[in-house]
Amino acid sequence: MSARFQRITPFLWFDHQAEEAANFYVSVFEHSRIVTTTRYNAESAAASGRPEGSLMTAVFELDDQQFVALDGGPIFRFNEAVSLVVNCHSQDEVDYYWSKLAQGGDEKAQQCGWLKDRYGLSWQVIPVEMIEMFSHSDPAKVSKMTDAMMKMKKIDLSLLRKAMN
């Protein structure tokens, strides 16, 4: 990780897919890597019920942001109360991240730029231009843009711009 101190690190609990998920996420985002992994030893495996030698944690970076993935078992599941936002500068970026993260995910959980990936983690793939549109001084234009957005799964900037004008 860079010399920048990261005070808050997202800690993601997986049943048994933490290593697979960390490797997948690292493949999607530039400037990303697996930093370290720890494995269950005989003592921790006995205490947790996890197989000895299996992954316990993976520390990884996505676009220089550090995360920790834990294989902790089926006790906890992801839900939409927490999501990760991917800020995009263009429609091409929206298309890229959406296609990668949505692959194998929950089709029913896709709306207004939100998606649920194959591991159950919720993401928001959002163009920064859309966020700026919400701050427009004309509430009627914002309302039209919002109505258009509510009908979308993946955000389409050209349709949002058209709705604004």
Residue-wise pLDDT tens digits, 22-66: 999 999 999 999 999 999 999 998 888 899 999 999 999 999 999
Distances (CA, A) of 25 to 17, 29, 151: 12, 7, 28
CA distance 12 to 18: 8
**40, 55, 75 — which closes off a domain?**
75
Question: Do 153 and 112 sit in the same domain of this protein?
Answer: yes
- Span between the terminal Cα atoms of the chain, in Å: 43
In a domain, 2, yes or no: no
The predicted model scores a pTM of 0.91
* Same domain as 91, residue 158: yes
Statement to judge: residues 71 and 82 lie in one domain: no
How much is the average pLDDT of 152-165? 96
Is residue 117 in some structural domain? yes
Same structural domain, 36 and 82: no
- 88 and 69, same structural domain? no
Q: pLDDT at position 1, please?
A: 46
For 57-114, write each residue's pLDDT tens digit.
999 999 999 999 999 999 999 999 999 999 999 999 999 999 999 999 998 889 999 9
**What is the number of structural domains in the chain?**
2
| pLDDT score at 5 | 87
Distances (CA, A) of 3 to 7, 32, 33, 35, 37: 12, 15, 16, 14, 21
159 and 95 assigned to the same domain: yes
Give the single-character DSSP code of 50.
P
The edge-to-edge listing of strands for the beta sheet with 65-71 is: 11-14, 65-71, 55-62, 33-39
The per-residue pLDDT for 47 is 87
Question: What residues make up the domain containing 165?
Answer: 78-165
Domain boundary (75, 90, 108) is at 75
Q: Examine the domain organization and report whether 94 and 148 are in the same domain.
A: yes
Residue after which a domain boundary falls, among 34, 51, 75: 75
Q: What percent of the chain has pLDDT over 70?
A: 98
Same domain, 113 and 39: no
Residues 38 and 99 in one domain: no
- 15 — pLDDT class (breaks 50, 70, 90): very high
Residue 149 lies in a domain: yes
Question: Is a pLDDT exceeding 90 seen at residue 153?
Answer: yes
Helix, coil or strand: residue 31: coil
**Could you tell me if 89 and 149 lie in one domain?**
yes
Confidence of residue 148 (pLDDT cuts 50, 70, 90): very high
Verify that 48 and 123 share a domain, yes or no: no
Residues 63, 97 contacting (CB under 8 angstroms) = no
Residue 163 within any structural domain of the chain: yes
CATH code: domain of residue 96: 3.10.180.10
